[in-house]
């Protein structure tokens, strides 16, 4: 029996960490204005894992809850020391946890399988034509 590879994502200061077993179910990039503001970048990169893949969550965290475009709420977990937004949950899909791809600090992490909210994408930002684009989000709040 093969043991799934563990992946660890951490905040900038390393105080808050999440460890997950195996590969993400999906990796997506999101150009919605909320992700742009949340990350301070021109798009967010999200990895989706089944809640059962969580090995551990360590450290202190704070949460921020906001309504998504669907009207359902998302809860963001971030480090109270450095402010990094590490992972989040959506009422729409309670069995899934979303983790910021950059928090893994792994250049070999799987690339996005799609991009959503492309209607808000910065025109000067090239994106591979091989990745399916969605004008909005076909999954509601799931980026």
**pLDDT of residue 142 exceeding 60:** no
Contact call for residues 106 and 24 (beta carbons, < 8 A): no
Catalogue all structural domains in the chain, each as residue range(s) with its CATH number.
Answer: 6-26+44-109 (2.170.150.70)
DSSP secondary structure code for residue 36 in this structure: H
Task: Provide the 10 A C-beta neighbour count for residue 48.
Answer: 19
Q: What is the pLDDT of residue 10?
A: 98
127 and 121 in contact (C-beta within 8 Å)? yes
List, for residues 92-138, the tens digit of each pLDDT value: 889 999 999 999 999 999 999 988 888 878 888 877 888 877 677 77
Strand pairing partners for 5?
A: none
Q: Whole-angstrom Cα distance, residue 125 to residue 96?
A: 29
Quick check: 34 pLDDT over 90?
A: no
Which pLDDT value is given to residue 129? Answer: 81
13-17, 122-126, 138-142: the lowest-pLDDT one:
138-142
Q: What is the pLDDT of residue 35?
A: 85
139 confidence band (pLDDT: 50, 70, 90) = low
pLDDT in tens, 55-105: 999 999 999 999 876 778 999 999 999 999 999 999 988 999 999 999 999
In this prediction, residue 65 carries a pLDDT of 95
Q: What is the pLDDT of residue 3?
A: 67
Enter the pTM of the model. Answer: 0.87
Whose CA is closest to 36, among 112, 122, 104, 105?
122
DSSP string for 113-131: SEEE-GGGS-TT----TTS
| 37 SS3 class | helix
Question: Mean pLDDT, to the nearest integer, of 45-52?
Answer: 96
């Amino acid at each position: 029996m093969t043991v799934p590879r563990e992946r660890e994502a951490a905040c900038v200061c390393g105080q808050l960490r999440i460890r997950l077993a195996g590969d993400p179910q999906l990796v997506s990039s999101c150009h919605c204005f909320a992700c742009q503001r949340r990350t301070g970048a021109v798009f967010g990169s999200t990895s989706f894992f089944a809640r059962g893949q969580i090995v551990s969550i360590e450290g202190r965290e704070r949460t921020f809850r906001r309504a998504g475009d669907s009207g359902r709420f998302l809860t963001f977990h971030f480090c109270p020391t450095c402010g990094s937004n590490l992972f989040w949950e959506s009422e729409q899909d309670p069995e899934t946890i979303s983790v910021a791809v950059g928090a893994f600090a792994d250049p070999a992490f799987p690339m996005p399988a799609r991009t959503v909210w492309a209607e808000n994408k910065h025109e000067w930002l090239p994106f591979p034509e091989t990745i399916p684009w969605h004008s909005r989000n076909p999954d509601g709040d799931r980026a």
